Each structure stands twice: as C-alpha cells, then as structure tokens.
A = this chain, B = another copy of it.
C-alpha cells in the first residue's frame, strides 16, 4: 500500500473509532489513563533503551545541546510522563457538561452541551513526553488522536506509543482511537493535512517552518501553537523595583520557553533611571542586550538592535530593548511585532493598565506580573496541550475544555415551524 493510502485508511479507522470513543464513560477513561501510567513506569528500561537509539543519532550529527536535552528520556522524565497521565485522570471530564440551557416561548428546551471534537491531529517536534501527554488529554476529552512527532524522536515516540497501546487492550477505549504516524517522510504530514473528511482539527506545535507548512497546506482547521515573542512594558508610572524583578524573572528564570520575555519596552521619562541598573543586572546574568538608538545613548557598549530583532523569538539569554515615547507606542509595537502570546505592563496607574489590557491583542495580557505564568498548570487548568497563538476556538493555554466543542440539544413536544 502507498504511504498516502496507508494514511487515508488509518484516518478512516480513527474516525470510526472516534464515534465509539465519544461514548466511553468517565470511569473507563480514567481506568485507561491509570493503566497507561502503570505501563509507562513498568517499561522504563525499554523506553530509555529506545530513546538512546534516537540520542545516538542526534549526538553523532552534532545537533544543538538544547535539542538533545529536549529529546532525552530519563527516570525522572518518565515518572513525570506517568504523573501527567495520573493527573489527567483526576481532572474533571468536560464531556456532556451543560454550558447553558434555556426555554423558548414555543416551549422548546434548548441546551448547549460540551462534546468531543472527534479526531484530533497533533504535529510536534522533539519532546517525546508530548506523545503520552497528548494521548492522555485527547482520550480524557473523548477524542481520538493521530500523532506525528519529529523525526529525531522516532524510536522514542514509537516505544511510548506501543507501551500505551498495549495497555489499552484491557480497557474499553477502542484501540483505533490512538494512532501514531511513524513514517519520517514529511509527505505523510501533507497527506494527513488533506483529510478534512476524517480529521476535525490539526494542532501543530513548533517553530516557523512547521507552522508555515501546516497553515499553508492544511484543509483541516488548524489551532497553531507558534512562537512567543513576549514583551514587558515598563511605564513611567511603574514601581521601578517591581519592574526590575519582573523583567529579570521574565527573561532569566527559564529563557528557552515560549512565555519568556524577548523584548523590553521602557518609557522615555524613566529610561535614564531604570535602564543602567537593569542592564547591569542582566549583564551579570549573562544576558546579551540588543538596544534601540536611545537605549544605546543611555547605556554604552550595547549591540544595536536591527529590524530583525523585534519579531524574533530568541529562546535564549538575549533581549531586545526599546525606549518608547508613550503607552500608545508600546501597544502599537506589541501588536505589530508580538506573536499574540503574553505581554505585560508594569504600572501603578490603573487607567493606563486598563487601556493596556483592552488594546493589546494577545492571548494573555498582564499587569504587574511576569509573563512566565502563561501555562496550563499555573492557570489551574491541569495539564495542557500547549499555548495556542491562534484567535479561533482556543487562545492561550489549551487544556481539556479547549479539546471539546459543543452541540445544541433541543427537546420538544411535537413543535413545528409556522
């Protein structure tokens, strides 16, 4: 069978399984999640061994350290995978939740009820834990799932998938509700993206090239999990000590993640007091600063920020800094160069804070707090699929409710339309 035919046949089976999956009870789903967690822990040695096959390749190819780190499975990370499944079992089942209910003058009782989406396709890069995390979240929300991981993690993903699939044999979860595309041929993704008849949503998690490829080629609705170009705007009404704490935390605490700050905007009236100490603090932490003209007038010896810096997601100890004339200029900069992810203002002025909250078009807009809080766990949602940077269906942390849709149920007593 050709690769295309294989993908079509698999998608068709998954859709059929999704109809059964939607009806599996909460107890049965939780039982399956616990069995999956148990199996992951029991097969730890096998998972580490298969992961080593992937690691051998990327180390030999001299891939960046950060990628090798993301790819690595060890005892601690395998336990975290099992824990995520056990946590998911404890989360409230969103399926069948009544969102609203109302009665019409003609007596019809209309209810808006949460239902699974159907078949969810997830395309991701090198972190193997995404495999088990996403299977868990999709099953709990009553969906079938088709996974396509990065080629660097092919053996790790296959191993995790096989272990989980075997554990599902003792449950009421239909086996075809969980699928992995293990072909490393990118054409497999292209085939998948055309199957809008069978797949209801595609969630791509990754960098520019993946996101572009998916949005340009998909006939299926896409909820993109794209880059985080997060800003902190230090207003002239800021508590400057608080501003330094927040900026330092947002940049330095974990620079390699999407909710870390990439650009700091500073009001011109406080730039001369604020910037020297702040930049010296960053300097000590090894942060490379790329400044605008006015920043470089205030603090010497700083690299020049170019046009390419403003929309850049460094994911590293690098920060672009810009002095702005007023709140409006800060908001414009964020709406033009940001990625609609997370942005914060530090200010004591309530009116200014409200204006920032209203006008910044991002999934998470903060006042006086670090952007690093944008996260399903930190928001209290439990596990998450990721952070959506799209504007439709799901924005920001995407957790169980965002893996559902709704239907209207209408109860009548023979009503007909006049």
Contact = CB atoms under 8 A, between A and B. Distances in A.
Interface residues of A, number: 68
A373 B201 contact: no
A361 interface: yes
A249 B415 CA distance: 9
A353 B111 CA distance: 14
Interface string A229-266: 00000000001001001101110011000000000000
Interface in A273-328: none
B201 A391 contact: yes
Counted per complex, copies of this chain come to 2
Contact of A392 (B22, B359, B392, B409): B392
Contacts of A123: none
A253 B253 CA distance: 65
Interface in A57-71: none
B239 A414 contact: yes
A191 to B, nearest CB: 14
A380 B102 contact: yes
Interface stretch (A30-38, A81-89, A161-169, A213-221): A213-221
A359 B19 contact: yes
A379 B365 contact: no
A5 interface: no
Contact of A413 (B365, B368, B390): B368
Contact of A417 (B372, B392, B405): B372
Interface string A349-376: 0000100011101111111111011000
B373 A414 contact: no
Interface string A327-360: 0000000010000000000000000010001110
Contact of A379 (B110, B223, B359, B380): B110
A372 to B, nearest CB: 4
Interface string A105-121: 00010100001011000
Interface string A97-140: 00000101000101000010110000000000000000000000
Contact of A361 (B19, B245, B410, B412): B19
A414 B242 contact: yes
Given A367-B411, A407-B364, A246 B416 contact: yes
A22 B367 contact: no
A196 interface: yes
A391 B200 contact: yes
A412 B373 CA distance: 11
A396 interface: yes
Interface string A369-410: 110110000111000000000111101100000000111111
A23 B412 contact: no
A196 B221 contact: no
A395 B117 CA distance: 11
Given A253-B417, A411-B367, A414-B245, A391 B372 contact: no
A366 B406 CA distance: 14
A285 to B, nearest CB: 14
Contacts of A390: 221
Contacts of A358: 22-23, 96
Given A108-B373, A239-B414, A416-B245, A118 B361 contact: yes
A406 B363 CA distance: 7
Q: Which 8 A-B pairs have the closest CB atoms?
A: A369-B412, A249-B416, A372-B417, A393-B393, A242-B414, A369-B415, A368-B412, A392-B393
